[in-house]
Amino acid sequence: MINCRNVTRLLSEAQERPLSITERVLLKLHVAMCSGCQNFKDQMGTLRLMTRAYAKRKSDHDE
């Protein structure tokens, strides 16, 4: 099985490039069994959302 370290690498890269079918299958199999990586996966989207909200906040609001 592909390990958590490599899974997090792929989940990060998925933010920059489309993953291959093989990569997607490997991820799916791992994430289904690993709650840590499942949470990490959700957090990649959340980090992006947070950083954009932060950018917007920086430009829209007074501190």
Partner 1 sequence: MTTNRDQKADTKQTEDLLVDAPFLEDIRRQMIKFATLQLGDNNLAEDAVQEALIGALKNASSFGGRAALKTWIFAILKNKIADTLRYKQRSVNVSSLLREEDEDEAFSELFDRKGFWQQDERPVAWGNPEASLRENHFWNMFEACLERLPPKQGRVFMMREFLELDADEICTTMNLTTSNLHVLLHRSRLRLRECIENKWYLQGERND
Q: Which residues bind partner 1 (CB under 8 A)?
A: 3-6, 8-9, 12-13, 15-17, 34-37, 39-40, 42-44, 46-55, 57-60, 62-63
Q: In the bound complex, what is the minimum distance in angstroms from residue 20's beta carbon to partner 1?
A: 14
Angle between helices 35-60 and 4-13 (to 10 degrees): 40
Tokens of 19: 């993953």
Q: In the bound complex, what is the minimum distance in angstroms from residue 26's beta carbon to partner 1?
A: 13
Q: Is the CB of 20 or the CB of 39 nearer to partner 1?
A: 39
Give the separation between CA 31 and CA 37, rounded to whole angstroms: 6
